[in-house]
Amino acid sequence: MRASVTLLASAALVAGCTTSAERIAHVDAVMERYAGTVPGASVLVLHDGQPAIRRAWGMSDLESGMQAAPSTNYRLASVSKQFTAAAILLLAEDGRLEIEDPVRTWLPSLPEATAPVTIHHVLSHTSGLVDYEDVIPESMTWQLRDADVLRLLESQDRTYFAPGSDYRYSNSGYALLALIVERASGQDFPTFLRERIFLPLGMANTLAYVREGPPVPNRAWGYSLVDGAWQRTDQSQTSAVLGDGGIYSSIEDLARWDAALYDDRLLSRTSRALAFTPATATDDPTVEYGYGWRITGQRLWHSGETMGFRNVLVRWPEQRLTVIVLTNRNDPEPYRMALDIAEPWLRD
């Protein structure tokens, strides 16, 4: 059966996919490895504002036998960064902060070496801030929060390079942005996201998860393949850091987020342009970076990888096409799968 689906998908691509049945067969073939009693995936293809594909494969919870669904919430990992960037842009629109503010204006306990670092540098990964994962002492055994990242960086009176002079992807920076959101807004980061982004857009089941807060509804648990068997590997020491990757969401809620990126319902045209305009080259010659978004030509995207989860959201705004792939397993990275899924729509 799977072989016939794959052949149908291949034939459809050669001919140029024109029917919904051919497109569905193509996506089924791409997602074949996620079917069955294995950690699963949820996939959404949005075209002209409508869901062309809205499907799930495999399991969200192997232990309980719960199947993945379009409503399943996955930890987004670094796909979360676009929401952290949006929170900063909203506060800039409110006049609560300026994008060119020095980070130490809001976090004065940072060391002197970080004095030249601005919010713009942090948003665009050009800050040179030290990676907090590399300086966690053996004595710090608890699960870290964003405030712990600040404490770690307080001891690092150095940067990797002069701020603004180079690019280095920085989870540290986005953890600090979450703290800046809190100080500029007077709200904790999960509350700000919920009240200013998630609820206004109807993303009722999306949240920045903290253990003392509400549980994740329809939660997917993360898994890794270890010695040929799937083992639950849902949390690491850095899983509770919110600004760089702590949001849970579903393809259903992310459809609402995608729709809001086409108009002014959340962010102004100016803010969206800041997010989607290249601010820097990266270490990949095919990719530039805006604010919370990777940019490859006209393609806007971000992937997310963390213990037990691999995700990607890819947008082609000119074609009004978006592909979202959320998975609860440690491999593979789904960016190439998303491009493969999109091919029939991009060909037509």
- Identity of residue 272: R
Q: What is the largest CA-CA distance in the chain?
A: 63
- Identity of residue 57: W
CA distance 8 to 336: 20
Catalytic residue among 78, 127, 172, 249: 78
Examine the residue annotation and report whether 78 is marked as an active-site residue of this protein: yes
CB 258 within 8 A of CB 316: no
CA distance 127 to 125: 6
CA distance 124 to 164: 9
Cis? peptide before 163, omega within 30° of 0: no
- From the list 5, 74, 10, 7, the residue with the least C-alpha distance to 35 is 5
Helix orientation angle between 335-347 and 2-15, rounded to the nearest 10 degrees:
50
CB 22 within 8 A of CB 344: yes
CA distance 141 to 67: 34
The neighbour count for residue 287, using CB atoms within 10 Å, is 16
Residues with catalytic annotation?
78
